[in-house]
Structure 1
């Protein structure tokens, strides 16, 4: 049976395609985004408080290399097979080298409902993997040019809402520890699934509006939006196994690798590569890859993880 949060996404998708008047208030959508990012950060920070941070540095280096490699591979495919111009290929590739917080949140819930453990540093990986793809995408699109406002771009990239909330939540969770977080767990932990369900309802409505953009390069974008995450999933799977992660941890790293950003990267690309058409990258990342990962990808990636390293103890 499907997770109830995925059913909320399907409800929003069907309602949007049927041109229903259903719509969540913009303020509620923003509030849910803040809540989910903070909750994920707090959970990751709580876990980090229980372990040494120095041994994580090689792992962080590995996931940074993973994100850069995905961006370069996606760029080459979009240029060679898709015939994309340099700007659109770079912008779209950056989406696929970065990560989706919503997909990660659904994967967290998927593992939690099945009592599958995973390493706490995966929330750190989430924050770290957002940034490198953006920087590589900008360099691929523009090169090292004097007219690039790197100071403004760095502020947008490193101090954007998503990264700030994740890192802030992790810092609070790490500083407070399990005992210090006890008074707020009823809000940030117990209500997580309900907030995620409402968030995915709105995501279904948003995805339904991206189908029109698929008409421009529909067949290629549909194929790329499925093939690229599957290929990236294999890279994430191999990286997770090499890092010695548990089956749950490998699943989450595979989900991160297979996901595509549709929040942080579009904001940065609008600033750095304004000539790129955001409809193309969002149609692929949000219209194809996001629902594919929710409906098919997450359970598939867990099956791959357990096939190669066995079930969690």
Structure 2
């Protein structure tokens, strides 16, 4: 069995942490790598959009936003009634699982490109669109009211959200920049896999630490963090088929549905829902779901999409 070299660095990070290796990894570098990935994904999407824009993109975008609204509505009753969590924590965790993980998406496109599998150019736009709806739905579910969604919230958590600004802004720059964007390619495009490998190594170190917390949590939380990605991934597969996407596009839509946020949503929850147990949400999304998706979910959904497309 051959493991993708990029994914192997994630495994190396986990193993290093579990072995107790003292590896210094500056927080500033981690944040810089995260910003790099967001900008690179946006630019790649913008460059591709220069050559191809689907006239049905608006309809597809609305369907993706609806998808982002539905996912937390699926997660919430599982957390509330089967997991017996209170409204606050059920809403907070549901928001994580309705949103997306940029790193998980980056792993998926790295695998697709390594295997020369094409996918639709506009997917970075879908990543941006899926960041927003779940935050709103999660907060409404947690508070049981729309009053929390005010002008200040919209400005800070939706309009000025780092992930949204960097990815959408880079996508626009990539699209409008014309031939001038080519001079950025040696850094943002050609170095993408190497930077992603380094980022995943750090994520492996973090996930290794979270594994200790996983042991202390209930069987339900662990089960949910594995089951929900499968539900979201299969729902994403169905949406991809409904939209008539390519096999690569179906696989990516499934990955978006299966992923859980550990950057944008935690920041929003900390600001707007400080009473929620942030450790529980991060343990589920980063300690369980992210490793599950990188090692099992992403390869499975990409393979499954190729199987469906070949039928």
TM bin, normalised by shorter chain, reads over 0.9
Correspondence list, 1:53-72, <5 A: 54-72=55-73
Provide Cα deviations, 1:82-113, integer angstroms capped at 9, x if missing partner: 01100000000000000000000010100010
What residue number does 1:73 align with? 74
What residue number does 1:219 align with? 219
Correspondence list, 1:1-313, <5 A: 1-52=2-53, 54-144=55-145, 146=147, 148=148, 150-158=150-158, 159-177=160-178, 179-310=179-310
Q: For residues 247 and 282 of structure 2, what CA distance do their matches in structure 1 show?
A: 31
Query: Does the Cα contact within 8 Å between 2:128 and 2:168 map onto a contact in 1?
Result: yes
The 1:145/1:172 distance shift into structure 2, 3 A limit, reads closer
Q: For residues 228 and 256 of structure 2, what CA distance do their matches in structure 1 show?
A: 13
Query: Does the Cα contact within 8 Å between 1:23 and 1:205 map onto a contact in 2?
Result: no
Give the TM-score taking structure 2 as reference length. 0.96
Task: Out of 17-26 and 47-56, give the one that drifted further.
Answer: 47-56
Give the TM-score taking structure 1 as reference length. 0.95
Q: Structure 1 residue 216: deviation in Å?
A: 4.5
Provide Cα deviations, 1:130-166, integer angstroms capped at 9, x if missing partner: 00000000100113365x4723321232211111100
Provide Cα deviations, 1:10-66, integer angstroms capped at 9, x if missing partner: 111111122221131111111111111100000111112223465211101111111
The size of the alignment, in residue pairs, is 309
Q: For residues 242 and 235 of structure 2, what CA distance do their matches in structure 1 show?
A: 11
> Could you list the runs of 5+ residues in structure 1 that have no partner in the other structure?
none
Q: For residues 143 and 54 of structure 2, what CA distance do their matches in structure 1 show?
A: 36
Query: Does the Cα contact within 8 Å between 2:88 and 2:275 map onto a contact in 1?
Result: yes
> Could you list the runs of 5+ residues in structure 2 that have no partner in the other structure?
none
Q: For residues 11 and 186 of structure 1, what CA distance do their matches in structure 2 show?
A: 27
- Tell me the secondary structure at the aligned position of residue 52 of structure 2: coil
Q: Structure 1 residue 298: deviation in Å?
A: 1.1
Runs of 4+ with deviation above 4 angstroms: none
The 1:189/1:225 distance shift into structure 2, 3 A limit, reads same
- Tell me the secondary structure at the aligned position of residue 49 of structure 1: helix
Q: For residues 150 and 16 of structure 1, what CA distance do their matches in structure 2 show?
A: 42
- Tell me the secondary structure at the aligned position of residue 56 of structure 2: helix
- Superposed CA RMSD in Å reads 1.4
Q: For residues 242 and 161 of structure 2, what CA distance do their matches in structure 1 show?
A: 31
Q: For residues 156 and 107 of structure 1, what CA distance do their matches in structure 2 show?
A: 29
Q: Structure 1 residue 182: deviation in Å?
A: 1.4
